[in-house]
């Protein structure tokens, strides 16, 4: 799944359990961040306006900095 959030394309890399971003329409991807080792596996992403939401196996997390860091909701 790819989410457009502000000026970035974001996706979940399930193999690395992290969020990746692209600034060139998905041609290349780089690591953006993760929910941390206590956050569980990332299942889904949602653009919620001013924040990015991540559903994980351990709950709901949010990011106010385009997925660089997440906090538990």
Tokens representing residue 66 in the block? 């385009």
| pLDDT range class, residue 1, cuts 50, 70, 90 | confident
pLDDT of residue 7 exceeding 90? no
DSSP the chain: -EEEETTEEEEEETTTTEEEEESSTTSS-EEEE---TTS--EEEEEEETTEEEEEETTEEEEESSTTSS-EE-
Question: CA angle, corner 49, sides to 5 and 9, nearest 5?
Answer: 5
Full-model pTM = 0.90
pLDDT tens by residue, 40-49: 999 999 999 9
Among candidate residues 56, 55, 49, the one with its CA nearest the CA of residue 64: 49
Mean pLDDT of 6-27: 95
């Amino acid at each position: 799944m790819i989410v457009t959030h502000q000026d970035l394309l974001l996706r979940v890399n399930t193999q690395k359990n992290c969020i990746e971003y692209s600034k060139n329409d998905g041609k290349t991807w780089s690591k953006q961040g993760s929910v941390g080792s206590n956050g569980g596996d990332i299942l889904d992403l949602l653009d919620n306006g001013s924040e990015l939401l991540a559903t994980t196996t351990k709950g709901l997390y949010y990011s106010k900095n385009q997925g660089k860091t997440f906090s538990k909701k």
